[in-house]
Structure 1
C-alpha cells in the first residue's frame, strides 16, 4: 500500500481561489492523501465551499478507490476542515494541522496555488529512489487570473542549513518532507515568516534536494517586484535571524540583506513573451 500524504492548507477569506487549488489535489495521480484544511475565521463562504468539495470527494471515494488509507488500512475522509472561531494566524494554524497529520509524507499548498497532476507521484518517487527526507521542486508564477507570467523559480540542487540561511529558496507549495525522518515541526505562533522558520528547522535535520521539474504554480497577487521589495517580510526575516537563529543585530542585518539579494536572483524569465493563458491551471470537474 502506498504511504499516506498529509497536505497542509491554510486560508482566510479565500473563497475565490480555493476551489482550483483543491481540485488540483483531487486530480493527483497519487491518490492516497489527506487534506488538513484550517480556516482562520473566514467571513466569506470559504468553509461552505470546502464542505461541498469534501462531500464531493467522499462520494467519489465510495464509487472508486480514491480514498485516504492509514497504514493499517483504515479509510479516512480525505478533506478534513477545521474552522477557528478567532483569527490565530498562519503559524498557530499550521502547527495544529501538523500535529493532526497522519501521513508519512508532509506536503503544503496555499489557496490560489496549483499542483500539476503528477506532483505528488513524481516527488515521492524522487525522494524514495534517492533516500531523501526533504525536497522541493521548481515552480512557475501565475497571476490572479491563473495566467502564466513567464517566470520560473528554482534554487540549488542541495540545500544544507547554512545555505538555507542565505535565502528561503523553496516555494511553499513545492515542499515535501518525510515525517518519519524529520519528525514533528512546530514554530512560534509569533513568527510571521513561519514557513521559512519551518524550513530552517527541517534543514537542521536533513538537507533539502531539488527535483528540477516544474510541478507547481504560485499565485502572485501584486507585481512580482513590488512583492519582493516592499513586503514587510524583510522585517520578519531579520527577526527570524535574531530570534530563531540567535544572531546579533549586525549579523542579522547582513543576513537579511543577503537574503533579499538571493531572493531577487532566484526568479528568472522563461522568455520574452508576455503572459499567456495556461489551460491546465483552470478549475473544473476532474475525471
Structure 2
C-alpha cells in the first residue's frame, strides 16, 4: 500500500541533465521517468499516464511544438513545462500555443522547477475538483432515485479515466454491493476484501500488484494491476468503500485520479448520509 507521488516525464537529449533532474526531483517527492527524444516520450505516454512533463524544446527527433501537441493529444490532462534557452524563445512560444503549461529557462533552476511543477499539480487538482463538483451536483439530484447507489457508481466513473477496469461501491446496509464494470466483472468477495483495506484509513489506499498480489487476484484467476480503495465515512463511522480497479495491462493510476476518487468518496458519503439504501441485490455490469 502506498500514497501517490506525482509522476514526471523528463525529456532531454543530454544524459547529464536527465540524471540530474531525476535525482533532484525524486528527492523532492516526485517519481521520474526519462526519455531522450520526443518520439521516445510519446511511446512512454502511450504505455502509461503521467501527471507532469518537463521537455526540452530542442529535444532531437521531433520539434518541441510537435512533441507538446502529440503528448497533449494522447493525454489532455498532462501538464507540460518546456525547457528553453533565451535563443530558443520563439520555439517555446510555439510550444505554449500547442498546449504547454509553462516555460522554464535553461539552465534549470531546480527549486524554481519544483515550485512550477507544484503549481501545475495544483491546477490539475482544481480541475479534478471541478469534475467532482459536477458529479456531486448530479448525486444530490439523484437522491430520490431507487437506484441511487448504482447511479453513484456511474457518476464516480466520470471523475476517473474510463480505462478503469471496474468501479464498485460496497455498503454495509444488508451487505449491498453495486458495481459498474468496464471489461471484466468483479466478484463481490474481491470488492469486499479491497474495501476492507480502507477501513480506518483517513484517505484513499493505493494497492499495487507488486506490493499486494494476493489482494488483487480473484479465486477465478483474474488479476489486476492496481486498485484504489476510498473509505466512505461520517466522522469516525465507516459504512463502506469505493473501489476502483485497473487491469494489469493498463497504465497505473495517476495522483490526479487518486485525488479525484478521494474527493468524490467524501461527497458520496455526505450524499448517502440519511439516505436509505435499496434492498441488497447482486452486482450490476455497466
- TM range, normalised to the smaller chain? under 0.3
Larger radius of gyration: 2
Bigger relative contact order (CA 8 A; separation at least 6):
1
TM-score (norm. length: structure 1): 0.28
- State TM-score, norm by structure 2: 0.28
